[in-house]
Amino acid sequence: MKKAVAFLVVTWLIFAACAAQAATPSRWAHAYRYGDRTQPRIAITIDDWMYPDQWLPEFMAVAEEYGVKLTLYPSGYNLHAEDRTLWQAALDAGHVIGSHFYQHKRLTEMSAAGVARELEKFQIALDETLGYHYEFLSVRPPYGAGLASGGNGKVGRWIHGAGFDHIVLWDVDETSNLKTALRQIKNGSIVLMHANHRDLLFFRSLMEALQERGYEYVTINELLNITSRIFYVED
Ligand SMILES: [Zn+2]
């Protein structure tokens, strides 16, 4: 009996050790431009949000009409407690929020500490706006600056150091010419728009035109299977 128990304990210890090694934090952040090209799913992402009271209900109305779950990337300085009901309504509708950092400055002109501070200030502004802690999972650096070579350059390392590995860029940012956008959008696309009048009108025409393709419009977290801030890799 004692032997059997000892065997079980040893087996469990080996299993636990293996399980602990099965996934370790990645050394680098990942800069995504698109998701799985084999699945008919795309993500619509909308940045900046200078006037959420003006544009959020409008974008949400189009999203609801076409069954779109949006990913919203506001800059921290645009987040205010007086807009709480607007942001909460967006979350209640299944949209998600990510960070477009705080001041909307180029991260290339900052330092590791500056980037960490930007994300910290964003989190504080977001939590004060919502009235509780919201665990955003992905970040979108202003202008996509400093990420041309992916997540393991200087900016990617700073973001990783601040505790975030999912850097979301885009493969489509055309919001003037519908034909061009339709040509560029494919399975897995990440579409970048901004919260303004022109892009709102474009969003509506785009959704109308895309109807025949039968895409599913999912959040970034769903498109890229993001479930935590840090990326874990299998050993
Ligand atoms: Zn921006």
- CA–centroid distance, residue 143 to ligand 1 (Å): 6
- CA–centroid distance, residue 234 to ligand 1 (Å): 33
pLDDT tens-digit map of 110-151: 999 999 999 999 999 999 999 999 999 999 999 999 998 888
The candidate with the shortest Cα–Cα distance to 136, out of 76, 50, 194, 196, is: 76
pTM: 0.90
- CA–centroid distance, residue 38 to ligand 1 (Å): 29
Q: Are 31 and 156 in contact (CB under 8 A)?
A: yes
- CA–centroid distance, residue 132 to ligand 1 (Å): 25
Block residue for tokens 């500490």: 113
Q: Are 178 and 207 in contact (CB under 8 A)?
A: no
What is the pLDDT averaged over residues 90-106? Answer: 98
pLDDT tens-digit map of 144-171: 999 988 888 999 999 999 999 999 999 9
Show the tokens assigned to 136: 């955003």
Q: What is the per-residue pLDDT for 233?
A: 82
Q: Are 155 and 107 in contact (CB under 8 A)?
A: yes
Q: Please give the CATH superfamily to which domain 26-234 belongs.
A: Glycoside hydrolase/deacetylase (3.20.20.370)
Q: What is the per-residue pLDDT for 193?
A: 98
- CA–centroid distance, residue 3 to ligand 1 (Å): 64
- CA–centroid distance, residue 87 to ligand 1 (Å): 18
Beta strands in the chain (DSSP E): 23-25, 30-32, 41-48, 70-74, 96-97, 166-168, 190-194, 216-217, 232-234
